[in-house]
Structure 1
Amino acid sequence: MASLSSRRLMKELSDIKTKGTPAGIALLTADSMQEWFFTIRVLGDETVYKDEVFALRMIFGDRYPIEYPQVTFVANKEYQPPVHPHIYSNGHVCASILGPEWSPVLNAVSICLTMQSMLASCKKKELPQGNDRYVATAPSNPKHTRWEYHDDTV
């Protein structure tokens, strides 16, 4: 019998294949029910991220969708995390939906939409305060970080 997580992800994948994804978001790979990759392009000419494409990695645990997935921006030869006040240079994201504001009604595509919106509203490319210190000491899984959500202006 498939787990709740697997059943939910199979439905999400089926919806993506039949209905597609919103503009600027594309599923790169979903080779397993544990790890998916998406690309995100911020729409509009007024964005500081014009013509940039970012890759987002999601790792789903056995308790998804009750618990949020591990979400990071990819850093490799092809992709780099965006320079953004809520995204660390190792790809970790400080966003309340990936913590206390997570709800099981959210899904992989809604996470991508939130990241796309977060990038679109950014007015200035800058790394988070304390980026170097955080990256040097961060756990490999950002879910093990105790984030402080105090700035929703970027």
Structure 2
Amino acid sequence: MASISSRRLQKELTEIHMEGCPVGITLVKADDFETWWFTIEVMGESVYRSEVYTLQFRFEPNYPISAPAVTFVVTDGRKAPLHPHVYSNGHICASILGNEWSPVLSVVSVCITLQSMLASCKKKEPPVDNDRYVRTAPDNPKKTRFVYHDDTV
């Protein structure tokens, strides 16, 4: 018997394959219902114009009731965007991934939101507490109690 999570993810994956992703968003890999990768490119006039970043989505068995763990992929060849809500380890401080998560949100809607978050940013700078956070951060960003107090960047 398929779980709620796998049924929902199969539905989302089918929609992506049939309808495609919005401009600037590309499904890179979705071999299972545990981890998916997407690239997002910031479109239009922005300090991130034409930059491409890779997102990793990790799903728990109770998705979509709980949010996926979403991070920017950071490896030797890839960096997280320099942004006030993105830590250099790839963790993202965004309320839709925390206390404002809703089961009506989808993987693609999260990608669109993060793409928009980057597009609307006026200045490339790290979070104020980046160094401290990266030193002490858990592997899973969902274990962090982010404080969502600044949605102006």
TM norm structure 2 = 0.99
> Are 1:115 and 2:114 matched, yes or no?
yes
Q: Partner of 2:18: helix, strand, or coil?
A: helix
Residue 26 (structure 2) aligns with = 26
Runs of at least 4 residues off by over 2 Å: none
Residue 152 (structure 1) aligns with = 151
| CA deviation map 1:56-106 (0-9, x unaligned) | 000000000000000000011332110000000000000000011100000
Distance in 2 between residues matched to 1:127 and 1:41, nearest whole Å: 19
**CA RMSD, aligned part only?**
0.6
5+ residue gaps, structure 2, are none
Q: C-alpha displacement at 1:50, in angstroms?
A: 1.5
Residue 15 (structure 2) aligns with = 15
Distance in 1 between residues matched to 2:137 and 2:68, nearest whole Å: 17
Q: C-alpha displacement at 1:51, in angstroms?
A: 1.9
Distance in 2 between residues matched to 1:16 and 1:93, nearest whole Å: 23
Residue 57 (structure 1) aligns with = 56
Aligned residues: 153
Distance in 2 between residues matched to 1:95 and 1:128, nearest whole Å: 12
Distance in 2 between residues matched to 1:9 and 1:77, nearest whole Å: 30
Percent of aligned pairs with the same residue? 63
5+ residue gaps, structure 1, are none
TM norm structure 1 = 0.98
Distance in 2 between residues matched to 1:35 and 1:84, nearest whole Å: 24
Q: What is the identity, as a one-letter code, of the residue corresponding to 1:152?
A: D
